[in-house]
Chains A and B, each alone.
Chain A
Amino acid sequence: MCTTCGCGNGETRIEGANPGEHEHVHADGTVHRHTHDGDHTHEHGHEHRHADGTEHSHDHAHDDAHGHDEAHDHFHHHGHVHDGSVPHHHEHEHLHVMPDGSVVRHAHAHEGATDLHYGQGAAHAHAPGMSQAKMVQIEQDILAKNDRHARFNREFLAERGIFAVNLVSSPGSGKTTLLTESIERLKASIPVTVIEGDQQTTNDADRIRATGARALQINTGKGCHLDASMVERALERLQPDENSVLFIENVGNLVCPAAFDLGEAHKVVVLSVTEGEDKPLKYPDMFRAASLMLLNKVDLLPYVSFDVAKCIEYARRVNPSIEVMQVSATKGDGMDLWINWIRLHSVTTRHARDQHVAALKHRVAELEAKLAERH
């Protein structure tokens, strides 16, 4: 329990307010309401000088359950005598460490009149019943819009029996060579389409087109990743064949593309042995998002110091279920395994689509039979 104001936990939660919200009356009569959990005392003082030269200080302190970090900034803007009856404004930003270890950083701004600090809304309402703003609950994922587009893409692909792979890696891992080699091996049996993401140039799409496959380049300009709406637009233009394979070659970047679902069946991360074996630990988000890691350029292993076993161990630290294949796109090592992986998934995707179509046909037949009964 708070030894200053006697407040405890579990108070009524106002819309948008944190539990433990409570109010303090300071020495100068100002009312100050704020939130936190746990037992504590209040005692940290701060002092400020007003334009007219008067000074005042008030105290509050927080023990145990939470603390302010060192960079606790207070800004006071007073252009008047602070006699407790004149509006004033002050702001301070601080950090609360909650008992569960979570951290809330926020700023208070108090715009007051006649001793009451009007806080910035419900959570920091400094005068009960006088909150001039309201909190609106949202609880929406920041990536909700991207995920909607991704869902649309996933349905678009599923309806057409298209198996889509989102290839991610740092620049220079050999993604495009891997792609052209893969297309050469696949094109006799499965149609392949490619969406190429780069900041600039159509070089990669040109290389893909040279294999005879259809490709569309997306230049992201200043963007560091492809997002689902870009892919949606690309799909509209490309109209990939039914029962085909779609490769999406993402922008060379091991960070940003991890967060963006494009509607693909799998993310495949390409790591070449000319890079560091600790990349899975350095860029865990990406290795966690991927289903398969292709360790590329393994033909160069005799010339570089790259510990394959360690790399795989690191990848499985961040993603215990990640599959790993060692390949060399230029020399052909391991390529059969990778191509078989694609074929297997392509067949599964087609099969799922056939089953779905069969179920729909069955349903249509049922409905037609019902309709016929009525006539």
Chain B
Amino acid sequence: MHEMSLAEGILQIVEDTAQQNAAARVRAVVLEIGRLSHVEEQALRFCFDAVTRGSVADGARLDVLATPGRAWCMPCGESVALQRLGDACPLCGSYQLQVTHGEEMKVKEIEVA
């Protein structure tokens, strides 16, 4: 359950930002989570609720922007969609793929009150 560590990391970023903005409450947290990243969204939501309890972000809404995976296919010389790591190029079937998008794990913004 590394999602717990990730949730703690999120809370830390959120708390720091809230403090810098003299915010009493955090209403929402917006994340960008790539489809190819190390995150299981439901587990992260569960952990987020657990770690934010009693914090400035208690009860905050969690918005998750799931960015699709993309890779550069060497044989095709083209950028292609990639659903999962280990999948083949949808055009040529090759595995010579360099992941370019979808590994993001970011706190994009928070909404404070």
Contact = CB atoms under 8 A, between A and B. Distances in A.
Most buried by A among B17, B68, B99, B109: B109
Contacts of B111: 16, 120-123, 133-136
Nearest to B65: A104
Interface in B47-90: 61, 63-68, 81, 84-86, 88
A259 B105 CA distance: 10
A284 B86 contact: yes
A266 to B, nearest CB: 18
A145 B9 contact: yes
Contacts of B13: 138, 140, 142, 144-145
Contact of A16 (B1, B5, B106, B109): B109
Nearest to A15: B109
B113 interface: yes
A258 interface: yes
Range for the number of chain A residues in contact with chain B: 35 or more
A5 B84 CA distance: 38
B13 to A, nearest CB: 5
A258 B10 CA distance: 18
B16 to A, nearest CB: 9
A136 B10 CA distance: 14
A318 B63 CA distance: 29
A140 B106 contact: yes
Interface string A311-343: 000101110100000000000000000000000
Contact of A224 (B2, B21, B84, B110): B2
Interface in A125-168: 132-146
B80 to A, nearest CB: 13
A144 B65 contact: no
Contacts of A136: 17, 21, 23, 109-112
A102 interface: yes
Contacts of B64: 103-105
B12 to A, nearest CB: 6
Interface string B16-48: 010001010001101100000010000000000
Contacts of A16: 30, 109, 111
A281 B97 CA distance: 15
Interface string A22-46: 0000000000000000000000000
Contact of B105 (A106, A121, A141): A141
A280 interface: yes
Interface string A286-299: 00100000000000
Nearest to A137: B109
Interface string A1-28: 0000000000000001000000000000
Contacts of B108: 137-139
Given A103-B64, A121-B27, 13 more contacts: A101-B81, A102-B65, A105-B64, A120-B61, A120-B111, A133-B112, A134-B21, A145-B13, A225-B2, A280-B86, A284-B85, A288-B99, A320-B98
Interface of B: 1-2, 5-6, 9-10, 12-13, 17, 21, 23, 27-28, 30-31, 38, 61, 63-68, 81, 84-86, 88, 95-99, 105-113
